[in-house]
Each structure stands twice: as C-alpha cells, then as structure tokens.
Amino acid sequence: MTREKPKNLWLSRWGFILAATGSAVGLGNIWKFPYITGEYGGGAFVLMYLACILAIGIPVMMTEIALGRRGRGSPIDAIARVVRENGSNPLWRGVGLMAMLAGFMILCFYVVVAGWAFAYTWKMLDGSLAATSVEALGQVFEQHNANPWLLGGWSVLVALLTLWIVAKGVQKGIENSVRWMMPGLALMLLILVGYAFTSGSFSEGFAFLFSFDASKLTGEALLAALGHAFFTLSLASGAILTYGSYIPDGQSIARTTFMVAIADTCVALLAGLAIFPVIFANGMSPAAGPGLIFMSLPLAFQQMPFGTAFGVLFFAMVSIAALTSAISMIEATVAYLNEKYGISRVKAAIGSGAVLLVISLLAMLSFNLLSGWTPLGKNFFDWLDYLTSRWMMPLGGIFMVVLAGYALRGEIMRDELNLPPAGYALWLFMVRYVSPVLIMIVFLHALGWLGFDPLVRWYWIAGAIGLLAILGELFAPRVRLVLANR
C-alpha cells in the first residue's frame, strides 16, 4: 500500500516534544502528582511511578505515535489507513473514533477548569482573593462558580484562544505557540521554585516529596501510580496519535517518547517543589486536592513577601499549562474535518468550536443554574468526566495496544518504530502482555470494581505475577525468533 503523503509536519523534533509535553502537562501535574508522591512514600513512589511509566505510558505512547505516523491523519483516518494496509476489519477505525470523541468530550469540561486558572490570574491582580482564611477563599471560589456569566465568560475565553491557535495550523499555530509557551512555563516554574527556596520550609517540602518511605507502598499506591502513568501522557484521547501523524519519517519514536515522559515527570516534581514549601511555611495541609490551588495557595501567597506578584506568576503558569492541554484535545477533531471533508482549518475550528461552546455551556451550568439536574446521581460536568476518564480512555488504550500487538502484521509496527530487534521484542511483549493487563486494572479500579484490601492484596499480586510468567513462557519462542533474525 502506498503511504499517505503528509500534509502537515512539525518543523523540528522539538516541535513535537514541546507540543506533546504541553498536552501532557496540565492541572494534574500541578497538584495531583506532587501530592500523591508525598502521600505514598516520596522517592519510593517516584520509583514505582517510573516503573509504571515504563510499563504503560511509554509503550502505549510509542504505539499511538507509530499508528499516527503510519496512517498520516486524524485518529479515525490514520487507524483506518493502517487497518486497510493490514487487510483487517474496518471496524477497528472505531478505536480512532473513540479516542477523538474522548478528547473532544474532555475539552468540553476542561475549558471550565482552565477558566478557573485564567480567572484566578486576574483575581490575584485585582485583590479579589484578599481573605483571611481558607474557608473565606472557599466562598470566593463558590461565588465565582455560582455566577454563570462570570464562569461562562472565562470558559469562553479559553475556548476562543484554543480555537484561534488551532485554526492557524500545525506549524504557524500549534508549533509556534508551544515554542514560547512551554519554555515560558518552564521559566516561571523555575522562578517559583527559587521563590519557594526562600520560604524557610523548602527542606520540609523536599522531604515530603523525596523522602524514601517504602512502608507507604501499598496496593492503593500502586493503583495511584498506574492510573497517573496512564492518564498523565494524554493517552487514548486522540492528541498523541494526531500529533504523531505530523512527525517526519526518520525521527526516532522511542527517543522522542522518552523525552516527553521525562519532561512531563520533571515538570510535575518541580511543581511540587514550588508548591509544598509555600504550603508548609504557612502551616497548611498539603492534602487539599484541587482546593490546594484555588484556596490554600492564594492565602499562602498573601502571607509572604511579594506574594501577590508570585501568585500572579503561578496562576499564569497554570493557565499556560491548561491552554497547551486544551489545544491538543481539539486538534484531532479539526484535523478530521479538514482531511475527511476538505473543510479549511479555520472553518473546521469554527464548526467544532460551536459544538464545543454548546456542550461546555451545559458543563458550566452544572455549577449554578443546572446544579439541581443530576440524572443518575451526577451532573453534566461529572458525567463528561466519568464517561471519558473511567470508560473511554482506558478502553481506548486497551484496544489500541491489542490492535498493534495482535491484529497488525509485525512488519508494519516494526518498520514504523525502527527499533533494534531486542528493543522491538521488548515493546511487543509490553503491548501484548503487560500494558493491557495493567490498563485493565486501572479500568476496573476506576469503576470501583477492583480494590486492594490488605487481606487480598497479595493474592492479586501473586496472581498477576503468575499470569505474566505464563504469558512470558508463551511469548518466549517469538522473542527467540526475533533475536535470531537480527
């Protein structure tokens, strides 16, 4: 089959690395990863998390990039072309459809969350966050969400900025924007780490993040590491697969994937070093979840020298992180409309943006006018989150690795990944036997169907090890065959 001629390409390898890192870095990196790191054993958890990145994140990300570059298109078109080349059932394109829909649905509620960061940048400037307690700042947050015009206005601003960047194209829009946004985010983060170093509690924050406490490595810690390793890299949401379709031939997929994973982890850890010393210096608890950003931190900044300036800098950094993630979520839809129907990127952005604004409006109204509308116990905002994070993304990840590991002929992925025989054999083993099992664990746990009660934890672990050992024995002849044909 003749390869699809690429219509858009990154100008350089750094274009993809910055864009993919921007997609991965979001609010979860800013507060969730640093917090769960400290909660589950510091340095011991970091090592466990890195192992999970190697077991889930990197193999699945390499798979998505390879499928995107092989098919050269949106998730639907790219997978359809690869499947057609392989002679497989065209229903596999549904995997691409699920990924594209997941990314779009996530953006529909993510613009509301990103709007909080933009709004708080302004609130730090105009003094709206002047309060004397976390409870008072909690009321400020509730009042902000209770005003549909205020909440909706900031959400629309985020949506319009996102669509404006995407409408300008891959190189002039996305790549040019991340070329200044990601270095700017890194610079602001380093400045905030330097500021935290002067807070007087830097050593306490450092110990919270990096003290090696193996006793905290429980079954729940493993589930937290597995879940974050899967969700942090924007897998199975159409973003990485679409971005991968813009990578020029000849660039190493493995090398760029490792660089994105390392950059994403470094940003998360630096965010912890910027946040927790400030929290500890003011005698606050790090166990505040999202409230850490919108309630505890604003109060902490007010109580420190030059706190307002650094508070503005912090929320500007969070806003950039949210915007780079939002860009990646809409790109798959715009690329699909552009390629499939020949619609210009500007018109595709306007069309998809109209649908986005309508759905995000319902998500925004879940906090005020429609707060009482909770079909089956969840409001519209929560349903979008539930369907995407607990169903669509884990199932999409499983189908993606099953497609690459079982359904496609070996030479397709081997040629695209261009790995040494031993490296390809390792990747194939991971996507066939390790990644699907671990993603299934994430899926079942997210649905509440799997727990790690202390009485049964070791049975789960022993069973998983036994299963992997059996699968390894089944796979061993193929590994030897691949190594023998080097």
Q: pLDDT confidence of 270, banded at 50, 70, 90?
A: very high
Of residues 3 and 469, more confidently modeled: 3
Position 7 in a domain: no
Q: What is the band of 463 on the pLDDT scale with cuts at 50, 70, 90? A: low
Mean pLDDT of 438-448: 84
| 310 Cα distance to chain centroid | 26
Whole-number pLDDT of residue 441: 86
Instruction: Check whether 318 has a pLDDT greater than 50.
Output: yes
Tell me which DSSP letter residue 212 carries: B
CA distance 449 to 440: 11
pLDDT digits (tens, 9 = 90+) for 420-431: 999 999 999 999
Q: What pLDDT does 467 receive?
A: 55
pLDDT in tens, 242-258: 999 999 998 999 999 99
In this model, does residue 280 exceed pLDDT 50? yes
Structural Rg of the chain based on CA atoms: 22
pLDDT above 60 for 475: no
Counting residues of the chain whose pLDDT is more than 90, the rounded percentage is: 64
Task: Identify the residue with better confidence: 445 or 98.
Answer: 98
Q: Has residue 262 got a pLDDT over 60?
A: yes
Q: 474 CB contacts (<8 Å, ≥6 apart)?
A: none
Q: What is the pLDDT of residues 335-364, one digit of tens each?
A: 999 999 999 999 999 999 999 999 999 999
Kindly state whether residue 171 falls inside one of the protein's structural domains: yes
Helix %, strand %, coil % for the chain, to 5? Answer: 80, 0, 20
Distances (CA, A) of 388 to 58, 392, 483: 21, 5, 39
Predicted confidence (pLDDT) per residue in 110-143, tens digit: 999 999 999 999 999 988 888 778 889 989 999 9
Q: Give the pLDDT of residue 376.
A: 87
At 395, which CATH number?
Answer: 1.20.1740.10
Least confident of 93-97, 170-174, 331-335, 462-466: 462-466
In a domain, 432, yes or no: yes
Q: Is pLDDT above 60 for 486?
A: no
Residue type, 445: H
pLDDT band at 469 (very low <50, low <70, confident <90, very high): low
Confirm whether 317 is domain-assigned.
Answer: yes
pLDDT attached to residue 444? 84
What pLDDT is attached to residue 261? 94
- The three-class DSSP label of residue 466 is helix
Q: How many domains does the chain have?
A: 1
Q: Confirm whether 8 is domain-assigned.
A: no
Residue 241 structural domain: 13-484
Q: What average pLDDT does the segment 365-369 reach? A: 95
- The mean pLDDT value for 379-397 works out to 93
Percent of the chain whose pLDDT exceeds 70? 90
* 177-232 per-position pLDDT tens digit: 999 999 999 999 999 999 999 888 899 989 988 888 888 888 888 888 888 888 88
85 falls in which pLDDT band (50, 70, 90)?
very high
* Cα atoms in the 13 Å half-sphere on the side-chain side of 199: 31
* Alpha helices for 366-456 (secondary structure H): 380-387, 393-402, 410-417, 421-429, 435-446
Measured distance CA(238)–CA(248) in Å, rounded: 19
Q: Residue 442's pLDDT is what?
A: 86
What pLDDT is recorded for position 462?
Answer: 52
Identify whether 4 is part of a domain.
no
Q: Using the 8-state DSSP alphabet, how is residue 93 labeled? A: H
Dihedral (C-alpha) 81, 83, 85, 88: value to the nearest 10 degrees? Answer: -150
- Contact call for residues 441 and 448 (beta carbons, < 8 A): no
Asked if the structure places residue 28 within a domain, the reply is: yes
pLDDT at site 454: 44
Q: Is residue 63 included in any domain, yes or no? A: yes
For the stretch 5-18, pLDDT in tens is 667 899 888 999 99
Q: What is the pLDDT of residue 450?
A: 60
Taking 70 as the threshold, does the pLDDT of residue 32 lie above it?
Answer: yes
37 against 60, higher pLDDT: 60
Q: Specify the pLDDT at position 480.
A: 46
This prediction has a pTM of 0.90
Average confidence score pLDDT of the chain? 88
Please state the separation of Cα 163 from the chain's center in Å.
Answer: 19
Reduced to 3 states, what is the DSSP secondary structure of residue 218? Answer: coil
Q: Is the pLDDT of residue 446 over 80?
A: no
CA nearest to 388, candidates 370, 365, 407, 363: 363
What is the arithmetic mean of pLDDT over 324-341? 95
Phi-psi region of 171 (alpha: psi -120 to 50; beta: other; left: phi over 0): alpha
306 φ/ψ sector (left φ>0, alpha ψ -120 to 50, else beta): left
Contact 222, 452 (CB under 8 A): yes
For residue 483, pLDDT beyond 70: no
Would the pLDDT of 470 be above 60?
A: no
